[in-house]
């Protein structure tokens, strides 16, 4: 294929020096927050690749530590035991190097986890509407909270309960029904804008020192 016909790769820290400069400011983990089906893992993984950072999925870490699936943890030990494990695993991940961390939908609802995330990381809420969440979660049956009853009604209730708390995140990006690469670019832009604003604030604060 002639060079001019080749699809140009989406901008990344490797190809776009502006992105690279912004990404250099990223000295903390990025924690993906949002309801089941928002795309925390799939977008988080792509974001990490764009930033040349490691990616880790907290749910997968919990399963590895427990030696069984999340559904089995819920069944055998109950939700409270799962939440304890989740809090411990996320605290451990936040001690690690800067990386993109996808969390389960309930993790950020825990006040201690939220406090730790706000101290050590950048919280990024992938906000999705009910239709999108219902459609995406219907493709898999591995989520204990959606196993009984009407999944759409459960997701609707969780949106009412959780969205006011997710709104405490540092960055909010809408995750609608569009190709994941498009959402990833929107996330990347929102993150770099946030880092720019943080840097401006720091520069202004330094300028007002006596
Ligand atoms: C949960 C979300 C799940 C998983 C567990 C509980 C929740 O993760 O942690 O089933 O409380 O919303 P995903 O959001 O990755 O599906």
Identify the CATH number of the domain in which residue 36 sits.
3.40.50.300
Q: Tell me if 14 is assigned to some domain.
A: no
Q: Does the structure show a pLDDT above 90 at 170?
A: yes
Predicted pLDDT at 8: 42
Q: What is the three-class DSSP state of 152?
A: helix
Candidate from 34, 36, 69 with most ligand 1 atoms within 8 A of CB, to mutate: 36
pLDDT at residue 42, as a whole number: 96
Contact 26, 98 (CB under 8 A): yes
Instruction: Determine the distance separating the centroid of ligand 1 and the alpha carbon of 171, expressed in angstroms.
Output: 20
Phi, psi of 142 (to 5 degrees): -100, 5
CA of 201 to the centre of ligand 1 (A): 35
- Considering only CA atoms, which residue is closest to atom 10 of ligand 1? 143
Q: Give rounded-to-5 percent helix, strand, coil for the chain.
A: 60, 10, 30
For residues 183-210, give the mean pLDDT.
87
Q: How confident is the model at residue 22, as a pLDDT? A: 60
Q: Which residue has the higher pLDDT, 107 or 3?
A: 107
Taking only the tens place, the pLDDT of each residue in 146-169 is 999 999 999 999 999 999 999 999
pLDDT tier for residue 205 given thresholds of 50, 70 and 90 = confident
Q: pLDDT exceeding 90 applies to what percent of the chain? A: 75
Sheet holding 171-174, edge to edge: 55-57, 100-102, 30-33, 122-127, 171-174
The encoded tokens of residue 66 equal 């427990």
Q: Is residue 38 part of a domain?
A: yes
Q: How far is the CA of 69 from the centre of ligand 1 (A)?
A: 12
CA of 134 to the centre of ligand 1 (A): 14
Assess if residue 177 is contained within a domain. yes
What's the rounded Cα separation, in Å, for the pair 70 and 105? 13
Q: Is residue 123 part of a domain?
A: yes
Please report which confidence band the pLDDT of residue 3 belongs to, taking 50, 70 and 90 as the band edges.
very low
Closest by CA position to 60, among listed 46, 81, 40:
40
Residue 200 counted as domain residue: no
Would you place residue 7 in the very low, low, confident or very high pLDDT band (cuts 50, 70, 90)? very low
Q: Which pLDDT score, from 0 to 100, does residue 201 have?
A: 82
Which residue from 110, 145, 155, 161 has its CB within 8 A of the most atoms of ligand 1, so it is best to mutate? 145
Print the domain residue range for 69.
Answer: 26-195
Q: Is residue 16 part of a domain?
A: no
Structural domains in the chain (count): 1
The answer to the question of residue 205 being in a domain is: no
Query: Which residues are near ligand 1 (CB < 6 Å)?
Result: 36, 40, 59, 70, 104-106, 143-145
- 96 CA to centre of ligand 1 in angstroms: 22
> Taking a C-beta distance cutoff of 8 angstroms, is the pair 110, 79 a contact?
no
Indicate which residue's Cα is closest to atom 8 of ligand 1: 104
* 196, pLDDT greater than 80: yes
Inside any domain, residue 18? no
């Amino acid at each position: 294929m002639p060079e001019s016909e080749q699809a140009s790769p989406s901008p990344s820290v490797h190809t776009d020096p502006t992105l690279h400069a912004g990404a250099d400011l990223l000295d903390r983990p990025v924690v993906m927050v949002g309801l089941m089906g928002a795309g925390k893992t799939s977008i988080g993984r792509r974001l990490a690749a764009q930033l040349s950072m490691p990616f880790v999925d907290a749910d997968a870490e919990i399963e590895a530590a427990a030696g069984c699936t999340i559904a089995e943890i819920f069944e055998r030990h109950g939700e409270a035991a799962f939440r304890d494990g989740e809090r411990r695993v996320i605290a451990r991940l936040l001690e690690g190097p800067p990386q993109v961390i996808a969390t389960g939908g309930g993790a950020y609802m825990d006040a201690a986890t939220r406090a730790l995330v706000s101290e050590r990381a950048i919280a990024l809420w992938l906000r999705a509407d009910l239709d999108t969440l219902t459609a995406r979660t219907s493709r898999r049956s591995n989520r204990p909270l959606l196993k009984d009853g009407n999944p759409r009604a459960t997701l609707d209730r969780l949106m009412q309960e959780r969205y006011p708390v997710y709104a405490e995140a540092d960055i909010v990006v809408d995750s609608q029904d569009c190709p994941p690469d498009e959402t990833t670019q929107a996330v990347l832009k929102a993150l770099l804008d946030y880092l720019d604003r943080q840097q401006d604030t720091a520069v202004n604060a330094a300028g007002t020192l006596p």
